[in-house]
Amino acid sequence: MRNRLDFRTLLIMFAALTIGVGWAAFNLASTGGARNDATVRPLVWTVFATPAALFIGWSIARRHELGLAAFCCFCLYFFTFFVAQRVETLFFTLEEARANGHSFYFNTVLVIHALAGAGLSLWRALAPAPAPVETG
């Protein structure tokens, strides 16, 4: 059985994903590579913006999937910390990572969020939407 692509869901979720990735990248760039008390807020936005925006887009596109959206977006947010950190340790020692402000880690977060978010958007766009409920 072939699934039909729900362009509305795909467009809404992908637009939200794009906004989230853009906001995260802007906040990361705004730190200028510095890591201090003044850059904590932009760095938090770097790891939080994309899952939050994707959740909002998913909630708009498919209100009936609110629980699934919350679960998937939370998992994307939570597990990205561990995956990005592990990937960073494959390429850099702890001293090198600290010296460059963990820039590889934060860029990896952006890539993981963009790829996983695109995958989630496509997954939901290919899933059949329930038929509208008739009242009356």
- What gap in Å lies between CA 52 and CA 49, rounded to an integer? 5
Contact indicator for 45, 27 with CB cutoff of 8 Å: yes
Please state the rounded mean pLDDT for residues 84-91: 97
- pLDDT value at position 128? 82
CA-to-CA separations, 25 to 77, 86, 92, 122, in angstroms, rounded: 15, 21, 22, 22
pTM over 0.85, yes/no: yes
Mean pLDDT of 7-27: 97
Confidence of residue 136 (pLDDT cuts 50, 70, 90): low
